Structure 1
């Protein structure tokens, strides 16, 4: 998997994703590290929402990842929740040195599932793994919660650039897999419909003397697990 160098490079897919979690857990620096390989010690709390792009090569396709960094403060919640709609992925962040930020993950997840897509790829991230001496949330605790909720999980350090790129790549790769699978299913469905229109077998129900053709579509589901 190689990274695209130019933001202007023509892309095959545009994937929208969101960064959510309490204020101060390091969302903005995770995005800054991923998009520009920068870390700011004087990073200020996000006001409303901000976003960044990065082109990524997945298999033989160029994906433009559009990542929205949302504010963690309660007063911006009505604004930020509107950005969940249409997002294909989400990175839910807590600070391993602040237990309250981990306790609030459940509320963020409930909000995400209320306003977001049902098959959204969600990655739970325990950030600031460099603060091991101040740790309040064990890695196994985060992993267990993620497994119970069907989420992917990883610990990161935006400061030391540990696992930052991997988190985004895992999310984007899984979104790509879902998109490709849907495309294949759509082609199979189109082929099936075309075959039936050319004389394939059809189920016919007689109601009141009229013939009604009955068709059905197959529903698919996806669960992200680590």
Structure 2
């Protein structure tokens, strides 16, 4: 993931938006610009990082198959209370959704 910071300082930009997007595409990575000052894409960036990590780990776990020694047992991850998070089992992949007001965002669907 490539993140351009301080998007609010356009007049001081050292790399054009087009060049940044082209580089990210060339490297097969996700690109996003942020600005903490304007609260632009800050939370979205963290959500995207976690989403990408979750998807990579999920794909690796699915590729391991049914080897009982491959995955750790008894691990619990606290993701919030039931009002904040819901999950749905589809096949072997659990989809995690975080509620954001009127809707829910699917964090990984592959």
* TM-score interval, normalised by the smaller of the two chains: 0.5 to 0.7
Q: CA RMSD in A?
A: 1.8
Segments of 4+ in structure 1 off by > 4 A?
Answer: none
Superposition map of 1:143-158 within 5 A: 143-158=21-36
State the TM-score, normalized to the length of structure 1: 0.28
> Which structure would you say has the larger Rg?
1
State the TM-score, normalized to the length of structure 2: 0.54
Which residue does 1:125 correspond to in 2?
A: 3
Query: Is 2:67 the partner of 1:190?
Result: yes
**Please, which of 47, 56, 59 is the counterpart of residue 169 of structure 1?**
47
Displacement of 1:189 after TM fit?
Answer: 4.3
Which whole-Å CA distance do the structure 2 matches of 1:178 and 1:132 have between them? 33
Q: Deviations over 1:164-210 (max 9, x none)?
A: 11111111101101212222222x2438xxxxxxxxxxxxxxxxxxx
Structure 1 gaps, min length 5: 1-122, 192-226
Displacement of 1:136 after TM fit?
Answer: 2.8
- Size of the alignment, in residue pairs? 68
Structure 2 gaps, min length 5: 69-110
Which residue does 2:13 correspond to in 1?
A: 135
